[in-house]
Amino acid sequence: MNTPRSSSPPLRSPEQLRGDPDGLVLVTRDDPGFEEARVDRIFNRRLPGRQPAAVVRPETEAEVVAAVRLARERGWQVAVRSGGHSWAQWSVRDDALVIDLGGLHELEYDQETGIVRASPSTPGGAELAPYLAERGRMFVGGHCPTVGIGGFLLQGGQGWNARGWGWAVEHVVAVDVVTAAGELVRADATQHADLFWAARGAGPGFPGVVTRFHLRTRPLPRHFAHTVQAFDLADFDEVMTWLHDTHHTVADTVEIVALTKTDPRLAPGPVLLVTALTMVDDEQEADQALAPFRKNPALDRAILVLDNEPTTPEAERARQLEDNPEGHRWAVDNAWLSGPASEVVPAMRRAYTTLPNEKAFTIWFSMAPLRELPDMAFSVQSEVYLAAYVPWEDAAEDERHLTWLAGAMADLAPVTVGQYLGDSDLRRRPHRFLSEEAWGRLQQVYADRDPDRLFVGYLA
């Protein structure tokens, strides 16, 4: 069954029809509506000045093929947009043809195989999750409901309970891709395996347009429960040292996130929250999985304790939406951390205890014990992921917020072993996101698949 989704803002108007043989509708720089087409679906409103040559919003796979061929004919590079949520606005590229996939709407679940086919602009939480839940299934989509699965999956995809269930991209069984040669192919473990390998981790460096993901789904857990403990920031060192030394022992059904944020319901200033969300089949299993958090040595000083309280995927997604407001300017950065608590915890202090405004938050996301990765481009991770998120509205505050973020990340440098593409802006602070071996192999994929560099690649 194909499910219609909410329609994208209309881009077609008679005066914009260019009469191309394939009927493609291009919005070029001189067209009314160009600015809207350039950035209307971009989440981070600290908008870049970069000026594409044109934007096209195909409504069929055949139109994607035509768009790639047209770019080649006209000597344009190609940039791709799925959900428009990359913090560094990777789809807005100078002089390129932007292929905006917001017009492709496909969502189809196969009960026999448990595989769902989805268009890249599908928001993982807002559309894919409820669609699958109705069928008793789930996908390990992104935490914020509005993130498109396209960019999310290509860069790895840190979805629900990544520490236990793996990177979302490990659930991709095939991708349909329009290649630089303008051919539509299916890439999986047995055919076009080089593209399949690259599609699982190359992120915005992927040389092709993915038009469809084939995703392995999981049974929807019957019971969601969480433990939440809130602390004064004075307890930061003690709590985080304990967590650093404990998280690898917690059951792999538990997603563990420690974050600082401001929540006036708890305290006037920022607080440290230790959160553990378990997705299991019954209350008893949840109770066992969450038991280690009762040993937190600072528990008697907690401002708030919820212990093994039932929750729902909807409630968790609503909280994510609240934390990630639309219409804001954002600066975001991240690091994979490694080392003993005595080195890692002090290095995190500035990122955690000096948030620059009341909407900013910093997360610590457990990936321990580290799982071995399959053979795919995604290849850099560590036990601890830290990311700092700073939203604000007034452009006059840009400098102050960017300076704070740069300082917080600089403190982390001695314990940083890499970064995750999903929360990166490679122009500001590039770090290793693929292993050396994977990077070398990706260069070979480019040489074979896109020797003329039709696709724009990394913005670095």
Ligand X SMILES: Cc1cc2nc3c(=O)[nH]c(=O)nc-3n(C[C@H](O)[C@H](O)[C@H](O)COP(=O)(O)OP(=O)(O)OC[C@H]3O[C@@H](n4cnc5c(N)ncnc54)[C@H](O)[C@@H]3O)c2cc1C
Q: List, in order, residues 6 or more apart from 223 with CB less than 8 Å away.
A: 279, 280, 281, 282, 283, 285, 286, 310
Q: Is residue 157 part of the contact set for ligand X (CB under 6 A)?
A: yes
Answer for which of 27, 101, 272, 386 binds ligand X (CB under 6 A) is: 101
In terms of DSSP H, where are the helices of 247-388? 283-290, 313-323, 341-353
Q: Is residue 38 part of the contact set for ligand X (CB under 6 A)?
A: no
Q: Is residue 152 part of the contact set for ligand X (CB under 6 A)?
A: yes
Stretch that binds ligand X, among 73-81, 289-297, 368-376, 437-445 (CB under 6 A): 73-81
**What would the x/- binding string for ligand X be over residues 422 to 451, using CB under 6 A?**
x-----------------------------
- DSSP element (H, E) containing 441: helix 436-449
Give burial (CB, 10 Å; 0-12/13-18/19+) of 417: middle
In this complex, which beta carbon is closest to ligand X, that of residue 144 or of residue 348?
144
Contact 424, 331 (CB under 8 A): no
Answer for which of 46, 85, 105, 163 binds ligand X (CB under 6 A) is: 85
Stretch that binds ligand X, among 3-11, 30-38, 151-159, 307-315 (CB under 6 A): 151-159
- Binders of ligand X among 301-340, rule CB under 6 A? 324
- Read off φ and ψ for residue 229, nearest 5 degrees: -125, 130
In angstroms, give the least distance from the CB of 363 to ligand X. Answer: 9
In this complex, which beta carbon is closest to ligand X, that of residue 212 or of residue 350?
212
Tokens 């044109």 map to which residue? Answer: 54
Answer for which of 52, 58, 103, 150 binds ligand X (CB under 6 A) is: 150
Counts of helices then strands in the chain (DSSP H, E): 12, 19
Q: Is residue 359 part of the contact set for ligand X (CB under 6 A)?
A: no
**CA dist., res. 354 & res. 351, Å (int):** 6
Contact 452, 445 (CB under 8 A): no
In angstroms, give the least distance from the CB of 81 to ligand X. Answer: 4
The token pair at 185 is 């192919």
Q: Is residue 270 part of the contact set for ligand X (CB under 6 A)?
A: no
Give burial (CB, 10 Å; 0-12/13-18/19+) of 200: buried
Q: Is residue 385 part of the contact set for ligand X (CB under 6 A)?
A: no
Answer for which of 39, 65, 107, 144 binds ligand X (CB under 6 A) is: 144
Binding site for ligand X (CB under 6 A): 43, 79-87, 90-91, 101, 120, 142-144, 147-148, 150-152, 154-155, 157-158, 203-204, 206, 209-210, 324, 422
